[in-house]
Amino acid sequence: MPKVLVIGGNAAGMTAAGRARRLDPGLEVTVLERGPHVSSSVCGTPYFISGDVPRAENLIRYTPEAFQERRGARVLTGVAAEKLDLSRRRVVARNLETGREIAFPYDRLLVATGYAPRRIEAAGAELGNIFSLANLSDALAIRSALERRPQRALLVGAGLVNLEMAESLSRRGVAVTMLEKCDHIVPGLDPEMADLVEAELARHGVAVWKGRSVRTFFGNPDGRVQSAWVSGIAEPVAADIVLVYIGVRPETGLARAAGIALGRSGAIAVSERLETSAPSIYAAGNCAETLHLVSNQPVANALGTAANKQGRVAGENLARVPAVFRGVLNTWVVRVFDAAVARTGLTEQEARACGFLPVAAQITAGARARYLGEEPVTLRAIADRASRRLLGVQAVGGGADKRVDVAAVALTAGMKVDEAAQLDLGYAPPYSQVWDPFLVAMNALLRYR
């Protein structure tokens, strides 16, 4: 019975384990997870913290026991892989409860170690009530900190997680200030679109400070944060809870130590079939490098959507059913209070950095008929001037998710603006306009002839 070992019990690892067993019930599959939970929805944690999701269990798809029973793979939590022993085809791990070392032999190995949030370089960063939300355990700690009714939150970094947390904490009655060290919030949007998100935050009472970072956190006698010294602000800023989210990096330590090659992006280099440089070792999910389908450049991707798909592909290859993972567009969507915010492909800034000569069109149109309440959405569409190929779309407002998903398909197909402008999209007054906002944006791009 071939032994399949999976390191990491989240999106990619669990999907792969389940898929491999389904395709080849003759496999002996074991998953090692260092944390206490597997199969948890990290994307759902802001809604658990806000209280929309009542219990942590609602965010867990399978307990280890349920997964074992239903999918036939053994799942061990609290077990941290410490070393890949390639020559003896085994993984040395430690039971975090007992401290005991255990060796797990494998015939085929999947590294699905995910990402880790970047640490902030500021004195006092180890104080209590300073969190980085990266998994369900963090969410439980944050929700428990909210029991003590903090008054003022400082969110350091203005990426997706903190955008969601701004809403979650505001709805729990906490006054929120968001810091961003760059000159615009939301990396992954062009400044013109980020401004719309900033306005939405402001409309809901969130203070946004750009071009600023934390120098030092100060604590109270209990060892919990009570204020922060922020660059360019004379007085310390009061804050009794802090969420740091300044980006993530692929968790590659184990693979690197074993001599497995990393790619240019810093993530583990893999083939289309998700094979690493080491025989019989695969990597999938946010620790593995992938291809950006527009720029054609290797990227590290930190989204659960890609991790799940890669997990499926890895599971198929682990079961010796050949499958390939083509790549990503870094498509994402996030709700910021009343606005949907989404993007796919390349922003204008990214397109320029990738060597395109981008042109941009930004339009605002109704996501539904004006006589049914327009729900305006702003779209920013980027195309390559020379090839006329669509390169990316960003959207803020009503139905931003729909228009960006439409764009994602067009990008995958390498569609030119001319063809995208004639797409036969559905229309009825509650769902769109006769010229869908996506088509309005494409028509605006057509002006560049």
Q: Which is nearer to a second copy, 59 or 174 (CB)?
A: 59
Q: Where are the alpha helices (DSSP H) in 204-325?
A: 253-257, 304-318
Q: Which is nearer to a second copy, 245 or 325 (CB)?
A: 325
Residue 400 C-beta: closest distance to a second copy, Å: 9
- Tokens 């409309």 -> residue: 203
Residue 35 C-beta: closest distance to a second copy, Å: 19
**Chosen residue from 25, 51, 58, 103 binding a second copy by CB under 8 A:** 58
Q: How far apart are CA 191 and CA 208, in angstroms?
A: 14
**Chosen residue from 258, 334, 351, 417 binding a second copy by CB under 8 A:** 334
Cβ(34)–Cβ(60) below 8 Å: no
Q: Which is nearer to a second copy, 229 or 431 (CB)?
A: 431
Token representation of residue 234:
């004379």
Residue 135 binds a second copy, judged by CB under 8 A: no
Q: Which is nearer to a second copy, 20 or 154 (CB)?
A: 20
Q: What is the DSSP string of 21-64?
A: HHH-TT-EEEEEESSS-SSB-GGGHHHHHTTSS--GGGGBS--H
**Chosen residue from 293, 319, 346, 360 binding a second copy by CB under 8 A:** 293
Look up 182 and say whether it is catalytic: no
Residue 337 binds a second copy, judged by CB under 8 A: no
Residue 355 binds a second copy, judged by CB under 8 A: no
Residues 183-222 that bind a second copy (CB under 8 A): none
Cβ(366)–Cβ(298) below 8 Å: no
Of 32, 108, 134, the residue nearest 77 (C-alpha): 32
Burial label, 25 (beta-carbon count in 10 A; 0-12, 13-18, 19+): exposed
Residue 390 binds a second copy, judged by CB under 8 A: no
Residue 10 binds a second copy, judged by CB under 8 A: no
Residue 304 C-beta: closest distance to a second copy, Å: 5
Q: Which is nearer to a second copy, 162 or 227 (CB)?
A: 162
Span of 104-112, 202-210, 356-364, 423-431 interacting with a second copy by CB under 8 A: 423-431
64: left (phi over 0), alpha (psi -120 to 50) or beta: alpha
Of 199, 196, 207, the residue nearest 154 (C-alpha): 207
Residue 375 binds a second copy, judged by CB under 8 A: no
Span of 25-33, 64-72, 229-237, 421-429 interacting with a second copy by CB under 8 A: 421-429
> What does the H/E/C string look like for 362-380?
EEEEECCCHHHCCCEEEEE
Span of 81-89, 94-102, 273-281, 427-435 interacting with a second copy by CB under 8 A: 427-435
Q: How far apart are CA 79 and CA 248, in angstroms?
A: 23
| Beta carbons within 8 Å of 180's beta carbon, 6+ residues apart | 157, 158, 208, 209, 210, 211, 212
Residues labelled as active-site residues: 43
Chain positions contacting a second copy, by CB under 8 A: 11, 41, 43-44, 47, 52-53, 58-59, 164, 293, 303-306, 308-309, 312, 325-335, 340, 342, 344, 369, 371-372, 399, 401-402, 404-406, 408-410, 412-413, 415, 419, 422-432, 434-436, 443
